[in-house]
Each structure stands twice: as C-alpha cells, then as structure tokens.
Structure 1
C-alpha cells in the first residue's frame, strides 16, 4: 500500500538511484523561449535513423538552458521540481517528435555518445526523456535530443565540456536502454485539479521500458473490473467517469513493450490532491 509523503521529502528519502537523464522546455504552458538559444542550424537530415554496429542509431543533439543546469524544470512530461534532483540529477533531454511521441515517450531512457568532434569522449551517457523538442532544429534529424547543459557536457573529454557545448549541433549515436531506479518504487502524484469525480495522476520512475502505453484503475467495490484511464498529456493519466470515484485505487500499468504491473492500493482512501504516493513495487530490472 502506498504511503503519502510530500514530493520533496520523498525524493530525499529514497535510495540513491540512476542519475542519468535529459530534457528540454515544455510545450505545455512553458514556452521554449530559451530552448534554441545555444543551437546552430543543422545541415544533415535522414528520413529514418541509420543503424550502426552494436544496435546504435544515428541522430542529432543540441543543448539549452544553463551550461551546468537541467534544461527545464520538468517540461512537457510534467516532472516539475524533480529533474535537477536524484534520480535524474539533470541528466535529461527533450526528445524530438519521434522520441517524445506526444508524451508517450516520457520516461524512456537512452544512451548517447557524440561523434565527429575532437571534444567528444566517445563514451555514452544515459539520459531520460522528460520534455518535448517540437520544432526547428529538432525536426532536422529522424531522432533528435535537446539535452540539458549538464548531460551535453558529460559527453566530452575531461576539461573539454565548454568546448563541446560551443559546437552547437552534434552528430550522435544513440540506443534505447532499460531504466533502472535501483530499488525505488513507482511514484503516483495526484494532480492538484483532481476531485471526487475526476482523478489525474502523474506516474514516474518505472524500471525497464520507462514509458507507459496504458493505465487502468480499479476502484473500491469494483469486483476486479478495471477502468481505463485516458492519456492526458506528458506522463499524466486521467479518469473521468461522470460518477463519484471510490478510493482506494489500484493501478494496472502497461509499459511501452506491453509488460504489465499491478500495484494494489496505489492511491489510498483519503487521498488528497497534490500529494505523491510511493509504491514499494516496480518493474523487474
């Protein structure tokens, strides 16, 4: 059964976790006023990602925000107030359309390594998709990562992060990798607009695929019947049946590759809007 805690207290109470994630500014109410500030125009395009040895594909990368910052504060996935802290630790990126997938790509993890620049170390960094990169240079390649300054600089040789950031647009290789939150349970943050007739929940920190394809809830007294939730935006899912909703709510999560996880009493009776409820369960790693 999930236990209510404040979101900030929960983040500092959990075990140390994966610290590699990447994200750009939100297109849902957070204008990307600075998202292209450090970009140079790209002059290479592909219709589909080019595959390389070892499962790597070709793409492009830029960065935005502070050189040592987290890009945006949560962005279009809704992870406000968390991306600069563990487990993300500013290792995030905004994904172009093929990666963001209208919000269905939120939470997916990728390894990225840059090529073609003397400042590149050649070693991959791991980032999480936490935002949308909707236009401009983000459409120049089949796959584009608009990375935080921290994540972009992490691809550089020692002492050459600023030189790499000065390059603007980089050719990169990337591949999808499992997310691993090292013992952390899945978090269910109830949106502040929720009420007895309407429930909206931000779900994050899923091991494995990281993203979700479907979410269902079971209300008290439903006798095993699952009610589908609608994908609202980013990592937010909602239920609005027109009738009073009866807590506690169990959750049935379907990952992007179809893996199912059932979390009993994910949101307890007496829940409150704005609270985050942490499960002890997560997908296997």
Structure 2
C-alpha cells in the first residue's frame, strides 16, 4: 500500500508539472552562469535559503533579473530553461533543465545591456549555477539566448520550516516547496493561539512577533496560484530555534 501511495504521489507531481508547462508559453531571455564548477558561490543569496544542498535545491538553481524577481516574491519558483543559441553553443537536441529561483541577479546600470548589464531592467535574464548552465550549453559560450517557461516544482518530501530568532521574533525559513514553489503568504498558529499572518522578512524568510514558545506549531502556506497547504502541528511543544520541521506538500 505504501508503495502504491508513493507511486500515485509521484504520478500526480509529474502530471501537474506537465500541465503547468503546457499552460505556460515559452519566452525569450539570455543566460549566463556563476558560482564555480561546484556551485559553491551560489550559497546564501537573496532568498535566504543558505546552504542549498541541505535546503534541498542542489545545483539546479538560478539567480534572476529584476524583471522576474519581483522583490523576492519569485523565490522558490521553478522554470524550464533550454538553450536557443547556435549549434556551437548549445548541446545537441537542446535539452531543457528545471531550475529553482534561489537568488537575485542585480542590475548594473553602469554597463550596457549587451555587455555586462545583463540583469538591467527590463531584461529577462537567468544567471544559472555553473553546473546547471553546462547541462544546456557549453562552458565557452559564456552567455546564450534561451527559451524559458514556468513549470511546477518537483520536490521530495514535505515543505520544511526552519526556526530561528527569539521568543518575540520568530523567523521561519520556508523551503522545499512543491507546486508553483513561490510562497506568497504564510500563517502560523500555536496550540494556544489563532492563525497569525506572518510578514515577509526577505526572500522566503517569514517573521512573527507573537511568542509561541511551549506550543505546538502549525503552518498555512499559499503560493502564487492561490493553492494553500496546511501543515498541522508539525513542530512539537518543545520545538527549538535552529531546528527544521517537515510538513505537508502541494
């Protein structure tokens, strides 16, 4: 039975990804890469994910320009990207790759759009981790035109909630979000409180000033497509700062 449930869940995620992709039109952009061959330079970033390996994002990550980043609301969104350059730049048959937004590519107004100012407004640009870039294009190409579209995020396990801060400033990093991936709102509820709306601190770090120490914690997460998932009592009454708790998934 457990294997059947797992198979059904995987099949549903694949169907959802294909459905979202089918409904999303391909758009044009350019892509570069950063972070080194091991993607070590992509750690941290404007979304607040920190260690991308422990957060579940691995090396299939991307920093996007202002036109796409939307002041951090796009953190966690997934895109399907494929090379659209010359045959000498792209891998044969132009394979596509799914990348998750984990960082911001800042504009550089002092440089022209076509020579270093790749992330200037209004350009759509993907600054991919080097390993991700090399899955679609050659290293020596450095910058290539690409086609991209939104796609559902394929994640293993539940949404993760990492606690930090102190009693009167609860900070919660929300990671490993499936579905559309880009969390737009988070509510927290203690076993002795009602639902409390959390404010975005930055990226996907959310904050609440309500003291919920000694209470089990539940979370309600909504993504950009309006879908909501409730994770009831995922953190026990003795939850601690620095710990990560896993909830339900889209």
TM value normalised by structure 2: 0.80
C-alpha distance after superposition, 1:179-199 (max 9, x if no partner): 0114x11110112xx222110
Given the superposition, is the C-alpha separation of residues 54 and 129 from structure 1 closer, same or farther in structure 2, using an over 3 Å criterion?
closer
* Partner residue, 2:145: 171
1: distance between equivalents of 2:199 and 2:70?
15
Given the superposition, is the C-alpha separation of residues 140 and 226 from structure 1 closer, same or farther in structure 2, using an over 3 Å criterion?
closer
Deviation of residue 271 (structure 1)? Answer: 1.5
1: distance between equivalents of 2:206 and 2:52?
18
Correspondent of 1:106 among 75, 90, 98: 75
Does 1:245 pair with 2:212? yes
CA-based RMSD: 2.1
2: distance between equivalents of 1:195 and 1:140?
38
Residue correspondences, number = 216
* Partner residue, 2:48: 78
Alignment check: 8 A CA contact 1:94 1:131 kept: yes
2: distance between equivalents of 1:111 and 1:139?
22
Alignment check: 8 A CA contact 1:212 1:256 kept: yes
* Partner residue, 1:208: 179
1: distance between equivalents of 2:83 and 2:41?
19
* Partner residue, 1:125: 97
1: distance between equivalents of 2:51 and 2:188?
26
Does 1:220 pair with 2:191? yes
Deviation of residue 140 (structure 1)? Answer: 5.7
Given the superposition, is the C-alpha separation of residues 180 and 154 from structure 1 closer, same or farther in structure 2, using an over 3 Å criterion?
same
1: distance between equivalents of 2:234 and 2:24?
39
Gaps of 5+ in 1: 1-17, 19-52, 157-163
Structure ranking higher in strand proportion: 2
Shift >4 Å, 4+ stretches: none
Does 1:148 pair with 2:122? no
Gaps of 5+ in 2: 1-12, 14-22, 109-117
2: distance between equivalents of 1:141 and 1:58?
13
2: distance between equivalents of 1:147 and 1:168?
11
Correspondent of 2:84 among 115, 133, 157: 115
Q: Find the residue that maps to 2:221 and give its secondary structure.
A: strand
Alignment check: 8 A CA contact 1:198 1:245 kept: no
Correspondent of 2:224 among 256, 261, 279: 256
2: distance between equivalents of 1:148 and 1:98?
19
Deviation of residue 109 (structure 1)? Answer: 0.6
